[in-house]
Amino acid sequence: MPNCAQHQCDERPLCDRDPTVECGGVAGAAGRLYPDGNARPAAHDAAGRTLAQAIVPLDGTGTPNLNGLVVAVGLGFSFSDRVFTQLGQKLVGDQSVAPRFRLVDAAQFGKDAAKLADLSDDYWTQWVPAALAGAGVTREQVQVIWLMTGAQDLGATFPEHAQTLRDLVAQILRNVHTYFPNARLAFLESVHWQDYSLKAPHREPYYLEQGFAFRWVLEQQIDGTGLNYDPFTGPVESPWISWGAYLWTAGDRPRADGLAWTCPVDTAPDGSHQSVSGAAKQADRILHKLRADPACTPWFLAARASPHGAEAQAEPLGTGFPGSSGIPWLALKGLPILGGVAKALVARCAPGASGNVALGPPSPAGVPFAGGMLYVDPLQMQLVPFTADASGAATVDLADIPDDTALAGEQWAVQLVVYDPAAPHHYALSEAVLATLGD
């Protein structure tokens, strides 16, 4: 059985890390998924949207044909196979998906980044051709790649092991361009939390640190120093690349958007691989990306656009202020999707503690309050009361989110205000969560 008690890493995922603090003091290893935050830089995003709009069904020779297919291939190892299997099952019979779209799972057990970086490996010469043939498609029909990869044996020192993986991922993308001549877009996934593992040679934060390899690869393409995808600026080396769903989170502590990795529910008996339900959870996050990201919707959805045209997201805002039980924290319980219900998970409070969850327009610079900073506009905020249970946690229904296209992209801030009579200022504050409404 997995070692559910083995949870000694209190690091935060890239998407929640402070963008001003470098991991281990390493230059270029600050928080967030992209150089300036969790959103793709505007110019890179615009290029991805343009490429996505240009994707049309292709016949077996790679020629546009209304009766052809738009093929996406999942590449990677056993972790990848589990999530792509679940994703494929979720797509069966889904009438909202473009009828000419096909997903091919070409992941293979044991084929880590080092194997995928070698175009002469039997992964490329035997396994991928067999996967394509089994699906009745050709390499010329492949226009989208979903790459989930990593490696166990790159050494334990950061940043060296992440730099090695960076170079391997870059070579994989060059191989993709060589092998799939019409691949336009590639979405990248790093390995999920591994601290429950009975066999991984390295403990966390090793696999968190591997996430920086993908960020550094993305930065090469974004800043124009490598992996060119645009034939008008030079020889093409790679598809256009983006983060996928980004699936790493610190075990059972939810990140700002609610994703958590619980043991034993989400893990297989080895503690490393996903259980069926864990792989399904990851597939749901990738499916959300496919349904909401404007670089995906034109070729994935039958309607070619998501209902509201924006992707729901959540990330931390500001810093908390401690009370007698430390700094409380909260996370959204799921993404802030238009037409849904916004819920917050309150945690790390004193047992039975009470207070309010503040909800309203963000005040990014913060407003001084009780020794800390309030990141919700105090003139427009709503207060939703809560009382923590014996473990210091609570789940709070915040608000129904209207199903209104006019709200797509609108941002709300959510922050926990805990009444704490033992604290010097009688209150403790969590950091805020900045929620972007969308699909």
Amino acid identity at 401: I
If you compute the radius of gyration of the chain from its CA atoms, what whole number of angstroms results?
22
Fold match between domain 14-300 and domain 313-436: no
Neighbours of 338 (CB within 10 A): 21
316, β-bridge pairs: 433
What SS3 state is found at 424? coil
Amino acid identity at 238: S
CA 229 to chain centre: 23
Q: pLDDT tens digits, residue range 354-376?
A: 999 999 999 999 999 999 999 99
CA gap 425, 101 in Å, rounded: 58
The answer to whether 240 and 221 are in contact (CB under 8 A) is: yes
Torsion angles phi and psi, residue 355, rounded to 5: 165, -150
Q: What is the pTM assigned to this prediction?
A: 0.96
Would you kindly state where each structural domain of the chain is located, as residue ranges?
A: 14-300, 313-436
CA gap 319, 316 in Å, rounded: 8
Cis peptide bond N-terminal to 328, omega within 30: no
The answer to whether 339 and 402 are in contact (CB under 8 A) is: yes
pLDDT in tens, the chain (439 residues): 788 876 656 789 999 999 998 888 898 899 999 999 999 999 999 999 999 999 999 999 999 999 999 999 999 999 999 999 999 999 999 999 999 999 999 999 999 999 999 999 999 999 999 999 999 999 999 999 999 999 988 887 999 999 999 999 999 999 999 999 999 999 999 999 998 988 766 788 999 999 999 999 999 999 999 999 999 999 999 999 999 999 999 999 999 999 999 999 999 999 999 999 999 999 999 999 999 999 999 999 999 999 988 899 999 999 999 999 999 999 999 999 999 999 998 888 889 999 999 999 999 999 999 999 999 999 999 999 999 999 999 999 999 999 999 999 999 999 999 999 999 899 999 999 999 999 9
The hierarchical CATH code for the domain 313-436 is 2.60.40.10
Fold of 14-300: Rossmann fold (3.40.50)
Q: pLDDT tens digits, residue range 403-438?
A: 999 999 999 999 999 999 999 899 999 999 999 999
